[in-house]
């Protein structure tokens, strides 16, 4: 039997975590490969237990409010970085609630551009109440960066629905020699972020995919099924490109700092989210899979409990095989590998062959992950407790 026997009698919620909760600054270094908002609530829970979680994010988003920023400044997407910094900001720090309100504010959509520019000037000149409410140090930094953005903003830039936080991060990127890690460090300190946030690569790249029907698609937003119609053929493979127009695949190196963070992880998690664009895309930069292969810490996959438009025709078993092929095709060490699933397997797509997975060294752990309040999504508290029990 490949299931952990102790899970048959008790769930991860029963594990003793009070010691961790009392000393989160000494908490485990759990590393997450994730992209969008699927892990936001769980990230907020994590800071009760550890200040040492690591979040490697995909900066390949090509839609939403990231699109005009990327087009104007040839830069990585900053939306997911902003979201994760906000999720990990310590809510107990005085003034952070106002900081999150400001960083999460979006200029209204549908307004004339002249009116939106005047509104942006209200933020820059500390006339807007959201700016007035934040601590002075944050106020000075964000207003300075918004001013940098205003000076560099193309005349045709569309401010409709623009996130104030995204504009500030984009300007900080320009103001810090296009070093996203430096930008993150600045705002992580000002927001008292309880964890480490890093993009998997520093440069400006886009995600592309080959479909089973032979079609090639370039642009992450065209694959997720959120802003455009869902793909009508399964994804065969994905690639990175630096040229959005030509879509020519390119080789990309992961940052050395990302490789170091992977090497130091006490647990590596591929959580729920968009399977190809948020999870598998993290393994495209050279050095990521090799660094994972060299670890001996637990590697955990948490499948979605609701349909993922990117996984057309793919069962959970297929998704696991995709991950194994990308991570462990040349592995020399035997890292423990787990699939963390709810007790009700009917929530997942397709049949699951636990015996076949066991022969590949993969243990399927079933434990209550979904509550009546969270259904059909995974409950963030259940997820965090389950992961902590594996560290």
**239 CB neighbour count, 10 Å cutoff:** 20
CATH number at residue 357: 3.40.50.10680
Of 2-16, 55-69, 215-229, give the lowest mean pLDDT range: 2-16
Q: What percent of the chain has pLDDT over 90?
A: 80
Residues 71 and 34 in one domain: no
For the cut 60, the answer to whether the pLDDT of residue 329 exceeds it is no
Residues 162 and 214 in one domain: no
Pairing of strands 206-211, 216-218: antiparallel
- pTM of the entire predicted model: 0.93
Residues 314 and 373 in one domain: yes
Closest CA to 265 of 138, 391, 99, 137: 391
Stretch 140-168: mean pLDDT, rounded? 97
State which of 199, 214, 247 marks the end of a domain. 199
Residues 272 and 335 in one domain: yes
Residues 139 and 207 in one domain: no
State which of 174, 199, 224 marks the end of a domain. 199
Res 272: pLDDT:
94
Token pair 């959201």 is found at 130
pLDDT one-digit tens code per residue, 364-379: 999 999 999 999 999 9
As a whole number of angstroms, the distance between CA 347 and CA 307 comes to 9
For the cut 90, the answer to whether the pLDDT of residue 225 exceeds it is no
Q: How many domains does the chain have?
A: 2
Give the residue numbers spanning the domain of 314: 5-58+203-388
Closest CA to 204 of 254, 169, 241: 241
**189 CB neighbour count, 10 Å cutoff:** 11
Cβ proximity of 277 and 251 under 8 Å: no
Residues 286 and 338 in one domain: yes
Q: Which two tokens stand for residue 103?
A: 């960083």
For the cut 90, the answer to whether the pLDDT of residue 327 exceeds it is no
For the cut 70, the answer to whether the pLDDT of residue 7 exceeds it is no
Say if residue 121 is exposed, middle or buried (CB neighbours under 10 Å; 0-12, 13-18, 19+).
middle
Res 22: pLDDT:
75
Q: Where are the alpha helices (DSSP H) in the chain?
A: 18-22, 40-46, 66-73, 79-88, 96-103, 113-124, 129-132, 136-152, 164-175, 180-190, 256-263, 288-293, 316-328, 354-359, 380-388
As a whole number of angstroms, the distance between CA 384 and CA 14 comes to 12
For the chain, the residue count is: 391
Q: How confident is the model at residue 10 (pLDDT cuts 50, 70, 90)?
A: very low
Residues 105 and 193 in one domain: yes
Q: Which two tokens stand for residue 100?
A: 């999150």
Residues 194 and 209 in one domain: no
For the cut 60, the answer to whether the pLDDT of residue 9 exceeds it is no
Residues 125 and 41 in one domain: no
3-state helix, strand, coil in the chain (%, to 5): 45, 15, 45
pLDDT one-digit tens code per residue, 268-309: 999 999 999 999 999 999 999 999 999 999 999 999 998 999
Res 304: pLDDT:
94
pLDDT one-digit tens code per residue, 256-273: 899 999 999 999 999 999
Residues 324 and 364 in one domain: yes
For the cut 80, the answer to whether the pLDDT of residue 218 exceeds it is yes
Residues 209 and 356 in one domain: yes
State which of 199, 230, 258 marks the end of a domain. 199
Residues 219 and 330 in one domain: yes
Phi and psi of 31, rounded to 5°? -105, 130
As a whole number of angstroms, the distance between CA 264 and CA 277 comes to 25
């Amino acid at each position: 039997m490949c299931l952990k026997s102790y899970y048959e009698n008790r769930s991860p919620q029963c594990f003793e975590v009070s010691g961790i909760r009392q000393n989160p600054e000494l908490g485990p270094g759990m590393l997450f490969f994730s992209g969008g908002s699927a892990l936001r609530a769980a990230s907020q829970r994590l800071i009760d237990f550890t200040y040492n979680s690591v979040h490697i994010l995909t900066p390949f988003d090509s839609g939403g409010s990231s699109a005009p920023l990327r087009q104007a400044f040839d830069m990585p997407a900053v939306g997911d970085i902003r979201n994760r910094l906000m999720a990990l900001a310590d809510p107990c720090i005085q003034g952070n609630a106002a900081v999150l309100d400001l960083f999460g504010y979006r200029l209204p959509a549908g307004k004339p551009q002249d009116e939106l520019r005047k509104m942006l000037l209200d933020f820059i000149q500390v006339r807007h109440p959201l700016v007035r409410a934040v601590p002075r140090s944050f106020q000075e930094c964000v207003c300075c960066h918004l001013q940098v953005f205003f000076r560099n903003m193309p005349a045709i830039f569309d401010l409709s629905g623009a996130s104030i936080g995204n504009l500030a991060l984009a300007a900080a990127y320009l103001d810090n020699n296009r070093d996203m890690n430096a930008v993150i460090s600045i705002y992580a300190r000002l927001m008292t972020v309880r964890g480490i946030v890093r993009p998997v690569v520093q440069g400006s790249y886009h995600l592309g995919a080959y479909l089973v029907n032979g079609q090639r698609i370039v642009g992450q937003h065209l694959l997720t099924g959120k802003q455009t119609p869902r793909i009508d053929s399964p994804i065969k493979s994905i690639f990175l490109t630096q040229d959005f127009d030509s879509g020519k695949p390119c080789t990309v190196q992961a940052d050395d700092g990302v490789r170091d963070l992977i090497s130091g992880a006490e647990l590596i998690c591929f959580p729920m989210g968009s399977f190809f664009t948020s999870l598998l895309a993290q393994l495209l930069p050279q050095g990521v899979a090799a660094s994972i292969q060299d670890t001996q810490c637990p590697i955990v996959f948490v499948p979605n409990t609701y349909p993922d438009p990117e996984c057309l025709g793919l069962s959970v078993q297929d998704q696991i095989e995709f991950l194994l092929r990308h991570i462990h095709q040349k592995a020399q060490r035997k890292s423990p590998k787990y699939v963390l699933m709810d007790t009700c397997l009917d929530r997942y797509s397709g049949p699951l062959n636990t015996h076949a997975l066991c022969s590949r060294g993969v243990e399927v752990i079933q434990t209550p992950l979904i509550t009546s309040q969270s259904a059909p999504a995974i409950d963030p508290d259940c997820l965090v407790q389950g992961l902590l029990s594996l560290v």
